[in-house]
Amino acid sequence: MTSLWLADRTKPAWTASPLGDGPRSAEFIVVGAGITGLMTAVLLARAGKDVLVVEARSVGACATGNTTAKISLLQGTHLSKALPRHGRDLARAYVEGNREGQDWIIKHCQSHGIAVQREDAYTYAQSAKGVPSARLELKACQAVGLPVEWADDADVPFPYHGGVRLPEQAQFDPMEFVDSLAAELLERGGRLVERTRVRRVSSRGGKLAVHVNDAAQRDIELQAEKLVLATGIPVLDRGGYFARLKPSRSYCLAFKVPGKITRPMMISTDSPTRSVRYAPVRDGEVLIVGGAGHTVGRKKSPSKALQELASWTTKHFPGATQTHFWSAQDYTPIDHLPYVGPILPNSETIFVATGFNKWGMTNGAAAALTLSSRILGGRMDWSRAFDSWSPHELTGLLTAMQANLEVGFDLAKGWITPVSRIGRRSPGPDEGGIVSGPPWHLQARSRVNGTEHRVSPVCPHLGGIVNWNDADKAWECPLHGSRFAPDGTLLEGPATRDLTASR
């Protein structure tokens, strides 16, 4: 399962450094080499700072390389949810931050010869039930000054019952963008190491001690004056961000389509969600269709929704042939605004950037601008909409309570349900994964491509019991979204360690 962007990626013009090369300290350590981390690192390096980027997997391997890569200020029904909670001024500040992020990306692409397609964006109703939500989004966009209009018709081959149109938005190949950032970082004297995972952070002698495992699983200590966590969800539990975010998984399919491909970027208001865009490739163009989203670890069979998404595509684009399949993880904040800034109030040593709610291109760039400005002593007037600690989060307390009650339920359910499976047969070939056994000896068993794995199902973050994702062929924790490969290898946090082996 490799995304279009990662599969079609040309060999980058840069090379990551082995961790052993150079000093094991830096003025700034940035954790995560996606759009937010690399852009923050470049902005700091431009200011002459000593920067080291540490990536657990490879550049763009998580959200950035698995996105739909829409650089849009029209973001589904986001504004109609945020505006009633926060008022016009804060919602306008959020849009302004996204606009500056969008402008920065487009200007960077223009100066580096990276292709950007300027297309209209639509938030549309695919049935009569979706029209009221689309109308609410229209009003919200107008209230914050976006030049939107209502479009009764759109040149698309699938059901369309009207929608909001915002002209001249953008889309691109995100890997070309982050590769250019990585190259600039290294040219400016910064360093970048891959396959090095941060395990924990402590304070020592007025500096931060960043404890990592390198590609050879050696325990190594790095030192920094300041730390930026650009990891999707913070890999440190300080600040309790895992309890302030809801993790969701969504899927994308790319298709070769005979004849005409839809030009605008589309996303539906009503379920099941349909996200559509085209993408240039070496031999023409492909259609990208996204959807089938679910809360991480809580969907019994994601593959069924994925099959339905594929069927929808071939129905409305006859002759479409699937070429790629991938998925990504996103985090929805309890109050619908991102968390960008100090990990704890009144602390200026560790910073976070999270809660982009599936719009990480513009939000990620805005976060990088916010963080670099704050660290370097500047100020962004719109950054109050991105504050990691702000009174505006009080509007999400009821949502947080409900979400954490669900977490408690899933924690109990995870430990109790496997008992009912005692005595059932083990999964056979191509049957995926199952958790079974008594509470004192739970076991997660999976079989993928003829290879069987047995691991402990207990998530090392807070003890949740993982469930099997039959679309991604991975273990997922239903509590806070940690994911693991069939053999227990950690894919993404907030966990920082693998599932343990099971006997």
Q: What is the pLDDT of residues 43-89, one digit of tens each?
A: 999 999 999 999 999 999 999 999 999 999 999 999 999 999 999 99
Residue 465 contacts by C-beta under 8 Å, 6 or more apart in sequence? 411, 414, 415, 417, 418, 435, 442, 457, 458, 459, 477, 478
Residue 6 contacts by C-beta under 8 Å, 6 or more apart in sequence? 60, 61, 65, 66, 175, 326
Taking alpha carbons only, the member of 87, 84, 112 closest to residue 12 is: 112
Structural domain spans, the chain: 415-492
Q: Tokens in use for 236?
A: 């440190």
Q: Please provide the distance, in angstroms rounded to a whole number, between the alpha carbons at the two ends of the chain.
A: 29
Residue 146 contacts by C-beta under 8 Å, 6 or more apart in sequence? 73, 74, 79, 95, 166
Cα distances (Å, whole numbers) of residue 209 to 201, 228, 255, 346, 350: 6, 13, 47, 20, 12
DSSP, residue by residue, 4-51 = HHHHTPPPPS--PPPTTSS-SEEEEEEE--SHHHHHHHHHHHHTT--E
Q: 351 with 342: CB under 8 angstroms?
A: yes
Taking alpha carbons only, the member of 497, 368, 469 closest to residue 51 is: 368
pLDDT at position 160 is: 98
d(CA 314, CA 365): 35
Q: For residue 272, is the peptide bond before it cis, meaning its omega torsion is within 30 degrees of 0?
A: yes
pLDDT at position 423 is: 42
Low-confidence ranges of the chain (pLDDT < 70): 391-430, 503
AA letter at 400: A
d(CA 23, CA 79): 45
pLDDT tens for 424-473 read: 444 554 678 999 888 778 899 999 988 999 999 999 998 899 999 999 99
> Which residues are 337's β-sheet partners?
none
pTM (2 d.p.): 0.92
pLDDT at position 146 is: 98
pLDDT at position 130 is: 97
pLDDT at position 243 is: 87
Q: Tokens in use for 388?
A: 């990691």
Q: Tokens in use for 96?
A: 């302004």
Its CATH class, for the domain covering 415-492, is mainly beta
* Residue 319 buriedness (CB in 10 A; 0-12 / 13-18 / 19+): exposed
d(CA 435, CA 456): 9
Taking alpha carbons only, the member of 453, 449, 450 closest to residue 488 is: 453
Q: Tokens in use for 380?
A: 């962004």
